[in-house]
């Protein structure tokens, strides 16, 4: 399979997994908020053995549209700011979860015995790794989100420690 078709295949598999999660969960389209989308997307990542950084936010939104033909109008009626705001929040959440994952991988690249245990030391270690690679954009995001993300990064570390891409 060539590399140009790979992202589309992943997107299709993730969309199918999201639909499966929503249908099997019996979740009413009117109750599909951001938290449910995160759970469904996480399920899709597990089901397709993929990472948050490989999630296509448009594929997620397309899956929600496929789940209910009235999804956009329901979000317009129930979500503060309507569907446009909802879709923006979905895209942002996917990006943030991808960032948590990126930070977790940076920490996992440090030998286990040398890995920092407390939040501030983890934050500093991630920043050093980003500086070392010249990833200034990620440093900006890290500084913006701050040390408060370290518990979520730690959760991702637990999930990803045995991940073999």
pTM of the predicted model as reported, rounded to 2 decimal places = 0.87
Question: Is 63 within the bounds of a domain?
Answer: yes
128/108 same-domain check: yes
Mean pLDDT by 10 residues, the chain (165 residues): 45 89 89 93 88 90 91 91 95 96 95 94 97 96 97 94 71
Specify the pLDDT at position 49: 83
The two three-digit tokens of residue 18, written as one number: 């999201």
The domain tally of the chain equals 2
17/62 same-domain check: yes
104/155 same-domain check: yes
Specify the pLDDT at position 47: 85
Tell me the HSE value of 79 on the side-chain side, using a 13 A CA sphere: 23
- Quote the CA–CA distance of 20 and 16 in Å, as a whole number: 6
Specify the pLDDT at position 86: 96
59/129 same-domain check: no
* C-beta of residue 72 within 8 angstroms of C-beta of residue 83: yes
Specify the pLDDT at position 164: 60
67/83 same-domain check: yes
Specify the pLDDT at position 3: 36
């Amino acid at each position: 399979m060539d590399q140009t078709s790979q992202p589309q295949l992943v997107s299709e598999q993730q969309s199918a997994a999201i639909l499966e999660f929503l249908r099997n969960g019996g979740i009413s389209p009117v109750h599909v908020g951001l938290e449910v989308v995160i759970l469904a997307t996480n399920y899709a990542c597990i089901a397709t053995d993929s990472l948050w950084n490989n999630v296509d936010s448009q594929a997620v939104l397309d899956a929600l549209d496929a789940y209910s033909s009235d999804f956009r109008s329901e979000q317009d009626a129930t979500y503060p700011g309507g569907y446009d705001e909802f879709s923006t929040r979905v895209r942002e959440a996917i990006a943030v979860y991808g960032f948590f994952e990126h930070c977790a991988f940076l920490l996992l690249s440090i030998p286990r015995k040398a890995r920092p245990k407390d939040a501030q030391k983890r934050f500093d270690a991630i920043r050093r790794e980003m500086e070392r690679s010249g990833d200034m954009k990620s440093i900006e995001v890290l500084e913006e989100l701050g040390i408060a993300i370290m518990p979520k990064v730690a959760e991702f570390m637990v999930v990803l420690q045995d991940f073999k891409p």
